[in-house]
Chain A
Amino acid sequence: MASSSALALGTAGRDTASVKSRGPIITMKGIKGVAARVIPPLVVLAVFMLLWEMLCSSPTAGLPPPSRVVTEAWDVIAHPFYDNGGTDKGLFWHLAASLQRVALGFSLAVIAGVMLGTLVGQSEWAMRGLDPIFQVLRTIPPLAWLPLSLAAFRDGQPSAIFVIFITSIWPIIINTAVGIRNIPQDYRNVSAVIRLNPIEFFWKIMLPSAAPYIFTGLRIGVGLSWLAIVAAEMLIGGVGIGFFIWDAWNSSHISEIIVALVYVGLIGFVLDRLVAGVGSLVTRGTSAA
């Protein structure tokens, strides 16, 4: 997947000049639907690249222009899979390590968040007791948890996962609770008449009924996770895209940072689409997303 987006990226970068002139021809050929969606962002991208190229091509500029980014970081772009041991690995491995941490931390947050959200949504007393505490805790910036978790776990890996967990759990809890509170009384009456036990009620009524809300929470959560992991990895080191960026900065490889940022953005976008896609699949299009 990383390699295919690398290709797409390369094309977008190199074909910028011809995109503009080819645009009208494609429209004339009649694939208007696709063209209308694809061409505007490509045009904007091309204009942006041109501006960037012009503004940064003077030798005194602080940032390299796109053409220099590609030539300088060509090693990083062309060889995402190399592995020389230690932290000297290709971009793919750094991204994979970050994604793995997000997957683990986010999964734990989903399980705990849905359970706590159900509790808060279902019980008046749990809400009164927990909600004010959650409202305070959720405003703590993700990185502020890092020293505390490093102190507790004495290791970077679990600390990073904990930061992901604690960052993404709040929107999941809060949205799940709202979803549970909004379950219509009718559904509760139906399950009372057929005598569903609490476990059946949870799986057959609560989860599907609250699913659109839960997935809204998951989408916010996964976005925050991705924001937090890059920052956390800059501090904890080891393999990971955050570390890669920090390492590139320390060695003044600005072009590599730019390439890494493009990947971070694209993957963040894919994660968001992925959760939204699963959501609309699970809720069969009724999702609030």
Chain B
Amino acid sequence: MAHLTLSQVGISFTRGGKTSEVLREVDLTIAKGEFVSIIGHSGCGKSTVLNIVAGLLKASTGGVLLDGKEVNAPGPDRAVVFQNHSLLPWLTVRENVALAVDKVFRGRKSRAERTEWIEHNLALVNMMHAADKRPPEISGGMKQRVGIARALAMEPKVLLMDEPFGALDALTRAHLQDSIMEIQMRLKNTVIMITHDVDEAVLLSDRIVMMTNGPSATIGEILTVPLKRPRRRLDLVEDATYVHARAAVLEFLYARHAQPAVLAA
């Protein structure tokens, strides 16, 4: 059943009297519990797609349906993990999560239940030991984990992640990818994740959405990754399905839709 539907989504920005079409006729249907990655060259409009689903941007044409209801404003049912973590630096780790939990569950959970829920989500991303530190005092990987905890704590119908591991070193990145896979297996979240990283896309996703280059970018191809879960990165290195999927994405990105030379510079 269609959980989240993007139909004929297009968007244009007008700046200084000049209108540029960034997205055109993006059609995508995502089932409940599915993990979908969006991959494409820089500047093609991946973040724009995500922001439209989040409700932070308004589509010029077409629209987004979540469980049959049109999306027209941001809300906690579509929690976002932002690329640069976006934690509030004057709040501790715990307070950052609490700000969201207290707002989203006010009236639905008692104070004690909310406190427990905050702790639960911090424990989920292994951040209890630094719960009372402030963002400037913790590492980039830890900040990203707190951002994930904050988003998960909202119990979103769809979890939106904009290059959640983009700014991290390879080891931390691998570690967090494993955490995300493990959490997603347990909670069965529907996830849309933007990434630049082909291996990350193949490892984590049920389907990979590959976008053409802008302007007027759209979905070029959708690849299903038929790998069983749980997935272990070491087992996959020589797995035929994995290697095949990886090759297909690379072929799309670098052979058929190579980044225009101007942009590559």
CA A3 to CA B130, docked complex, whole Å: 47
Q: Which of A186, A196, A205, A209 sits near B82, CB closer than 8 Å?
A: A186
List, in ascending order, chain A residues with CB within 8 A of B78's CB. Answer: 193
CA A194 to CA B99, docked complex, whole Å: 9
Q: Is B227 part of the binding interface, using a Cβ–Cβ cutoff of 8 Å?
A: no
Q: Is A26 part of the binding interface, using a Cβ–Cβ cutoff of 8 Å?
A: no
- By the criterion CB–CB under 8 Å, are A196 and B74 in contact? no
- By the criterion CB–CB under 8 Å, are A189 and B80 in contact? yes
Prevailing SS type, chain A contact patch: helix
Chain B contributes a number of interface residues (CB within 8 A of A) equal to 23
Q: Is B76 part of the binding interface, using a Cβ–Cβ cutoff of 8 Å?
A: yes
List, in ascending order, chain B residues with CB within 8 A of A209's CB. Answer: 88, 90
- By the criterion CB–CB under 8 Å, are A193 and B75 in contact? yes
Q: Is A36 part of the binding interface, using a Cβ–Cβ cutoff of 8 Å?
A: no
Q: Is A83 part of the binding interface, using a Cβ–Cβ cutoff of 8 Å?
A: no
- By the criterion CB–CB under 8 Å, are B104 and A194 in contact? yes
CA A189 to CA B88, docked complex, whole Å: 12
**With contact pairs A192-B74, A193-B80, A194-B76 given, residues A187 and B88 touching in the complex (Cβ less than 8 Å):** yes
- By the criterion CB–CB under 8 Å, are B90 and A192 in contact? no
- By the criterion CB–CB under 8 Å, are A194 and B134 in contact? no
* Total contacts A-B at CB 8 Å: 54
- By the criterion CB–CB under 8 Å, are B103 and A195 in contact? yes
Q: Is A283 part of the binding interface, using a Cβ–Cβ cutoff of 8 Å?
A: yes
Q: Which of A195, A205, A286 sits near B74, CB closer than 8 Å?
A: A195
List, in ascending order, chain B residues with CB within 8 A of A211's CB. Answer: 90
List, in ascending order, chain A residues with CB within 8 A of B55's CB. Answer: 192
CA A145 to CA B74, docked complex, whole Å: 48
Q: Is A204 part of the binding interface, using a Cβ–Cβ cutoff of 8 Å?
A: yes
- By the criterion CB–CB under 8 Å, are A286 and B90 in contact? yes
CA A269 to CA B74, docked complex, whole Å: 48
- By the criterion CB–CB under 8 Å, are A284 and B90 in contact? yes
Measured CB to CB, the nearest residue on chain A to B102 is: A194
- By the criterion CB–CB under 8 Å, are B103 and A190 in contact? no
Tell me the A residues contacting B by CB distance below 8 Å. 184, 186-187, 189-190, 192-196, 200, 204-205, 208-209, 211, 283-284, 286
CB<8 Å pairs between A and B, sample of 25? A184-B86, A186-B82, A186-B86, A187-B88, A189-B74, A189-B80, A189-B86, A190-B82, A190-B88, A192-B55, A192-B73, A192-B74, A193-B56, A193-B74, A193-B80, A193-B154, A194-B76, A194-B99, A194-B103, A195-B104, A196-B103, A200-B103, A283-B90, A286-B89, A286-B136
Shortest beta-carbon contacts, A-B, top 3? A186-B86, A192-B74, A208-B90
